């Protein structure tokens, strides 16, 4: 805490996990003997670099890029790239740290990493995005590879950016190593379902939680924050299961549509026009727009799916959701609920699906993309979707079982932390001190 006192997001993520691990350490002195906690919180390495690029006016622009390779005990480093002005070392470390346990939970051979840059893609032309991606990869390429470290997308990095990054990697390395990045578009190595995977996976996970309590999505009112990759496909699958999704947001504000969000309009605005969410009301006269995104949690709903960013639900927002009758909260974004909010949910009997379990469908499908790339083959949409669905079911079961084994029945926060940790810790012991 003293050493990294300024890295608030990183400390928050570590604290949340360490609290859950107390019962594990009580029963497994070998983890203390091997000093696992001190080792697991120090990244293997942090790569930090300058990214210099030319904007459309031929001005030289400079950003800072990062790659945090946190832990590769279970498999090659794996985790997304985030392009957002808020990116700093603390945020990179928290995301990479969480990624270790999430990737372990998928049951697939992938370690934990994260990267990105403090670059703001908003308002940039397509050419500027391309030049930035090329400059970013010109530095990053030397640290990654299909068996070394495999980046993917995250906030501000979707199929378009992955394409530019991949093109530059290929140019520099003179090899079509498809497995070096995931989230590629289908046609040059991308997997079907990867675009949908995090949102679909989140809804599959919630479906398991509901099913366990003899409920379903049918006719439930749902609020989803964000309107990016995760949010859009969470909305799509929730609607597919019969839910009514009434609200979503971007970083400027939120829309409320009492008739249920029209997904085609939302996709047109966000995926095609890359416009702001406020323009939704131009198409739907019954809908309303409110400036400021945090107010979205005051909309009454039975299921809340935060899918925008970290710390978007604090204690007050959690209490508002609870008093408005929320029954299920599941995290599509990484660490969207702060510790106070999580405690409110757990203490008030809300079914709570923590990020590292509930949003693991994205990285799991990335690992399926790596498998297809390695075997130089493509699987059909339904084949990948079925694998994703099964992975989410087994993650749910694993978390649930780990929680009950240690006496925390129904607490998926404790369950996911323990189940994710134990595999990595055992691997660290087996692979020796290094």
Distance CA 37, CA 21 (A): 10
Report whether 229 belongs to an annotated binding site. Answer: yes
Interface residue with ligand NDP, options 154, 208, 236, 385 (CB under 6 A): 154
198 annotated to a ligand binding site? yes
**Separation of alpha carbons 216 and 386, rounded Å:** 19
Given the residues 1, 3, 93, 114, select the one marked as catalytic.
114
Give the pairing of strands 288-291 and 253-256.
antiparallel
> Would you count residue 224 as binding ligand NDP (CB under 6 A)?
no
**From candidates 156, 189, 354, 415, binder to ligand NDP by CB under 6 A:** 156
Which of 75, 76, 116, 153 is close enough to bind ligand NDP by CB under 6 A? 153
Residues in contact with 185: Cβ distance below 8 Å, sequence separation at least 6, in sequence order: 159, 162, 163
Q: Which residue is nearest to ligand NDP (CB)?
A: 228
In which order are the strands placed within the sheet that holds 244-249?
A: 288-291, 253-256, 244-249, 221-225, 303-306, 328-330, 351-353
59 among the known binding-site residues?
no
* Contact map string, positions 277 to 316, toward ligand NDP, x by CB under 6 A: ----------------x-------------xxx-------
Point out which span in 142-150, 152-160, 163-171, 204-212 binds ligand NDP (CB under 6 A): 152-160
Q: Is 114 among the catalytic positions?
A: yes
Distance CA 118, CA 82 (A): 8
Subset of residues 358 to 397 that bind ligand NDP, contact rule: CB under 6 A: 359, 362
Helix (H, G, I), strand (E, B) or coil at 76: coil
Measured CA to CA, the distance from residue 141 to residue 354 in angstroms comes to: 33
Backbone region of residue 259 per phi and psi (left: phi > 0; alpha: psi in -120 to 50; beta: other values): alpha
Nearest distance in Å: CB 309, ligand NDP = 4
How many Cα atoms within 13 Å fall on the side-chain side of residue 78?
29
Q: What are the residues binding ligand NDP (CB under 6 A)? A: 153-156, 158, 198, 226-231, 250-252, 293, 307-309, 332-334, 359, 362
Instruction: Cite the active site residues.
Output: 114
Binding region for NAD(+): 198, 229
Q: Annotated binding residues for substrate, as ranges? A: 78, 99, 102, 153, 366
């Amino acid at each position: 805490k003293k050493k990294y006192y300024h890295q608030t997001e990183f400390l928050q993520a570590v604290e949340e996990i360490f609290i859950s691990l107390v019962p594990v350490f009580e029963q497994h002195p070998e983890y203390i003997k091997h000093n696992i906690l001190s080792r697991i919180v120090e990244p293997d390495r942090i790569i930090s670099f300058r990214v210099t690029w030319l904007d459309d006016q031929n001005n030289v622009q400079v950003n800072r890029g990062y790659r945090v390779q946190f832990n590769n005990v279970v498999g090659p480093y794996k985790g997304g790239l985030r392009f957002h002005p808020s990116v700093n070392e603390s945020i990179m470390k928290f995301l990479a740290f969480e990624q270790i346990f999430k990737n372990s939970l998928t049951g697939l051979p992938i370690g934990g990493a994260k990267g990105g840059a403090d670059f703001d893609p908003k308002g940039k032309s397509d050419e500027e995005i391309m030049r930035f991606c090329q400059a970013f990869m010109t530095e990053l390429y030397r640290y990654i590879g299909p068996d070394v470290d495999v980046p993917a997308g995250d906030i501000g990095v979707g199929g378009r950016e992955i394409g530019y990054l991949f093109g530059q990697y290929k140019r520099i390395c003179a090899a079509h190593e498809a497995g070096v990045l995931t989230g590629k578009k289908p046609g040059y190595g991308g997997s079907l379902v990867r675009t949908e995977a995090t949102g679909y996976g989140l809804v599959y996970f919630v479906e398991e939680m509901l099913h366990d309590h003899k409920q379903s999505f049918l006719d439930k009112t749902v609020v989803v924050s964000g309107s990016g990759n995760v949010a859009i496909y969470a909305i799509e699958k929730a609607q597919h299961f019969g839910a009514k999704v009434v609200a979503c947001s971007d970083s400027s504000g939120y829309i409320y549509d009492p008739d249920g969000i029209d997904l085609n309009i939302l996709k047109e605005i966000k995926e095609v026009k890359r416009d702001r969410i406020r323009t939704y009301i131009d198409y739907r006269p019954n809908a309303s727009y409110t400036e400021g995104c945090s107010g979205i949690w005051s909309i009454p709903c039975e299921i809340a799916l935060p899918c925008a960013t970290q710390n978007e639900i604090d204690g007050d927002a959690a209490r508002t959701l609870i008093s408005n009758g929320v029954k299920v909260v599941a995290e599509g974004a990484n660490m969207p609920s702060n510790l106070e909010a999580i405690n409110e949910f757990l203490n008030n009997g809300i079914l709570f699906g923590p990020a590292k379990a509930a949003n693991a469908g994205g990285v799991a499908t990335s690992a399926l993309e790596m498998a297809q790339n390695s075997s130089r083959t493509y699987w059909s949409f339904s084949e990948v979707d079925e694998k994703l669905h099964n992975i989410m079911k087994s993650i749910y079961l694993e978390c649930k079982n780990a929680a009950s084994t240690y006496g925390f029945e129904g607490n998926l926060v404790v369950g996911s932390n323990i189940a994710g940790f134990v595999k990595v810790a055992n691997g660290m012991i087996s692979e020796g001190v290094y």
